[in-house]
Structure 1
Amino acid sequence: MMSTMKKRYWTLLFVLGFASFLCFCTPSLHAYREWLLFLCLFGIALIVQKKGVGQRKFKDIPLLDALQEGVITLDWEGKVLQVNQKGAHYLKEEKGRLIGTLLFNHPLLKSHYQNFHRIRETFIHQSFANEKEGLEGEIKVLEPRKKILVTLLDSSGHYQKKQLGKDFVANASHELRTPITIIKGFAETIYDLPEISSGMLTEFTEKIVRNCQRMDSLVKNLLTLADLDYLPRAKLQECDLVALIDSCSQTLLSLHPEIQIESLHNEEVIIIHGDPDLLELAIMNLLENGVKYSEQAAKITITIEDGSDAVKLTIADQGIGIPEGDLDKIFERFFTVDKAHSRRMGGAGLGLSIVDVIISKHQAKIDVTSTWEKGTTFTLTFQKVSTAFQ
């Protein structure tokens, strides 16, 4: 078909060119030369245009396959004319099997047939979403009464984030509601009982102060998480992990002088690439957890091992431990193994979430092992510069 069309164009061009030549060479035909010259140039322009369209069609196929969006063109009846690789992938079909089929008869798009019907009547851009399958789509008119464009986009991550956001707000509201209710209750009691004893007044005010501190800690942790979520990557620099651990240990001992901390390392100076402030925050959270969840004076062992291609930091305590069934949940926001114990200690289940985010920003890995009523061990693995950051 294409070969026949080309022959016709070249034949037409030859005839027009020969006629133009005769008009210029034959005096009796001079009156027609401008008109034939125009026809000749028009024929050349038409051939060039058709050739360009053919080349664009040929080049559009790999270009569409490179897009992250699914792109599908339909005729006015809704039959598939062209589909790129992503479009076929989103519909869980082979490209060849989709060509010529009615797109909105497909099981994943059947429920959105009304959108397709509406755009043919109104010519107004239509959007649709399939939350169950994690697909978003748009329908546009390419050529009125001739072609329609459908684009598909994987929105599973978007809806997942949206749901996480809803859960986050619900959990934060719940965690804040408890201390607010306690503070309000004790404040009203003090207001309603002007003759309250000094002992009871002291007890009430201590509980009010403790719950205020809990709210303050919760808000600070929420703000920290928000900052970390929007931080693209930690500001990495050379950092001596041995010195950082010594500093964290001294800080913890000043807050809890009764605890025991043992620090072991196979080199005097162990350099990693990290953000010292963020790493200190993560390590302090792990150390404070070891103190909070120890029934007696905490005993914590910190080991730093400088290997050939990685540095391992291990923090082990002898606390109450974590049940095996909860190990895969402990980095979730607001998750606590023992809610009553956490509330008594002023925790809201955000500390390990902060640690997890910080470690991921360093492109490092965190693992946890635990035995109930025997203790918990966290292992942080940092890749050496030569393998991770060059």
Structure 2
Amino acid sequence: MLWLRSIIYYFLTALIALAISAIAGTVWGVAFALCVVSIACLFHIFNLHRLHRWLENPQVDNVPGSFMLWQEVFDQIYAEVRKQKKAKERLAGTLDRFLSAAEALPDGVVILDDNDRIEWCNPASCEHLSLNRKLDMGQPITHLLRYPSLRDYLKQQDFSHPVIIRITRPAEQTLSAQIVPFDSTRKLLLSRDITQLERVQTVHRDFVANVSHELRTPLTVVGGFIETMIDMPSSDAATRETHLQLMYEQTQRMQRLVEDLLTLSKLESGAQVREEEVDIPQLMQLLRTEANGLSQGRHTVEIGRLDRPRLIGNHDELHSALGNLVSNAIRYTPPGGTITIGWEKRDDTACFTCRDTGIGIAPEHIPRLTERFYRVDRGRSRNTGGTGLGLAIVKHILHRHQAQMIITSDLGKGSEFAVKFPQARVIE
């Protein structure tokens, strides 16, 4: 050990000084000892000076070197400096990863000091709150916010619940913002885009309201007739038959609604179905037969172009989807009109078409036709037996078959629903 070697060194120096004193006299022995001590002091002063200069600008690659005890001191300093350097590199790496993760968050994050000045923010917060990362650092956030509800939220100091911010321009958007204190002086301002969540909740509320309405009407009718029959037990047979017929029609309407709801629920659950080779030309003949039965001779139903390609898919689902399109054409085409269905090969796709000479659809309604319970004419849809779920079911079935539906219409002249199936599902 170096410290032990140093003690031995000074012990030998003392022995030599005693020996010189014994041989040449005390004066020479003391002089020798003083000389050695002076050299040792100069050696320590020199190394202390080097250590002091290094401490002014400590770098791991220029730690001084020496020998004896000072070598051990400098080696320990070098080891500690290297350890600290590695710790700093690990910390810097952790901070870089943390900042990268915070930068990538879809939620907005703003760090505020005790005076609500911005210390840091990520890109999502800039998008949500219209901040500028270069210009707004160090600025009080209350001076920069355009939303009064958020400014009031910051001032009231009650952060137990988030605040909802509704934005109308440049596009409709809904944000949820909340303050989270994370030490004695700083706060996090978190923002989240909940636009899609609100839309889902709105759709859910509308769905429940529509189902309730669709069921309430036939139940009211049936209940009314039952009360009439109870109150008038002696009514004639013709009246009772009329009431029973109307009650039957309303129960059939409820049954169709429940069946469509069950079908839609099954499709939305993503349950796997068996796929097979579907003979579309044969299905086209079946669709025409069913359309004639639904029309009862009031329309002309014809098959236009009929190519031979078959399709890989689920027969029952394709029958339901294409049949819905044909039945809609029957319902919305006045008596004497024509419904033409076709199946043809187009380049790398196969296309089913259903064209009618009906009342047509205004352009503003076309994008919403596949929404559940959306009706262009509510009264007409109910009178023709529609549930308002047919095109929503069609949309889900076509999505499962990677198909695309294109709707074109001339108001007062008729509409065409074209369904394109990808080449991967077409069998020549």
* 1:306-317 → structure 2 map (5 Å cutoff): 306-317=345-356
Distance 2:71 2:102 in 1: 51
Matched, 1:88 2:126: yes
SS at match of 1:93: coil
Could you tell me which residue of structure 2 aligns to residue 136 of structure 1?
176
SS at match of 1:211: helix
Q: Which amino acid aligns with 1:136?
A: S
SS at match of 2:386: coil
Measured at CA, do residues 108 and 241 of structure 1 come closer, stay the same or move farther in structure 2, by a change above 3 Å?
farther
Which runs of no fewer than 5 residues in structure 1 stay unpaired? 27-32
Could you tell me which residue of structure 1 aligns to residue 383 of structure 2?
344
* 1:1-390 → structure 2 map (5 Å cutoff): 8-10=57-59, 14=63, 22-23=68-69, 43-108=81-146, 110-113=148-151, 115-116=153-154, 127-132=162-167, 133-142=173-182, 144-231=183-270, 239-253=278-292, 258=297, 260-265=300-305, 267-271=307-311, 273-296=312-335, 299-323=338-362, 326-385=365-424
Contact 2:309-2:345 within 8 A present in 1 as well: no
1:204-230 residue CA offsets vs partner (Å, 9 max, x unmatched): 011111111111112222333333334
- How far 1:118 moved relative to its partner? 6.8
Of 243-252 and 281-290, deviating more is 243-252
Of 68-77 and 42-51, deviating more is 42-51
Contact 2:294-2:327 within 8 A present in 1 as well: no
Q: Which amino acid aligns with 1:99?
A: M
Larger Rg: 2
Measured at CA, do residues 223 and 376 of structure 1 come closer, stay the same or move farther in structure 2, by a change above 3 Å?
same
1:62-112 residue CA offsets vs partner (Å, 9 max, x unmatched): 433333222222223222222222221222333213322223443345523
- How far 1:345 moved relative to its partner? 2.4
Contact 1:234-1:361 within 8 A present in 2 as well: no
Measured at CA, do residues 379 and 91 of structure 1 come closer, stay the same or move farther in structure 2, by a change above 3 Å?
same
Distance 2:115 2:275 in 1: 57
SS at match of 2:374: coil
Which runs of no fewer than 5 residues in structure 2 stay unpaired? 1-53, 168-172
1:314-347 residue CA offsets vs partner (Å, 9 max, x unmatched): 1012334335554444333323344333222222
Contact 2:291-2:301 within 8 A present in 1 as well: no
Measured at CA, do residues 240 and 45 of structure 1 come closer, stay the same or move farther in structure 2, by a change above 3 Å?
farther
Could you tell me which residue of structure 2 aligns to residue 30 of structure 1?
none
Contact 1:263-1:302 within 8 A present in 2 as well: yes
Distance 1:129 1:340 in 2: 37
Distance 1:45 1:25 in 2: 18
Q: Which amino acid aligns with 2:59?
A: W
CA RMSD for the aligned pairs?
3.6
Measured at CA, do residues 6 and 118 of structure 1 come closer, stay the same or move farther in structure 2, by a change above 3 Å?
farther
- How far 1:183 moved relative to its partner? 0.9
Contact 1:131-1:156 within 8 A present in 2 as well: no
Measured at CA, do residues 238 and 150 of structure 1 come closer, stay the same or move farther in structure 2, by a change above 3 Å?
farther
Distance 2:334 2:194 in 1: 46
Report how many residues are paired. 367
Q: Which amino acid aligns with 1:79?
A: R
**TM-score using structure 2 length:** 0.73
Where relative contact order (Cα < 8 A, 6+ residues apart) is larger, the structure is 1
Of 244-253 and 5-14, deviating more is 5-14
SS at match of 1:331: coil
Contact 1:125-1:141 within 8 A present in 2 as well: no
Distance 1:318 1:268 in 2: 26
Distance 2:68 2:313 in 1: 83
Q: Which amino acid aligns with 2:179?
A: I
SS at match of 1:95: coil
Q: Which amino acid aligns with 2:422?
A: Q
Distance 1:203 1:98 in 2: 76
Taking only the aligned residue pairs, the percentage that are identical comes to: 26
Distance 1:76 1:105 in 2: 15
Contact 1:311-1:383 within 8 A present in 2 as well: yes
**TM-score using structure 1 length:** 0.79
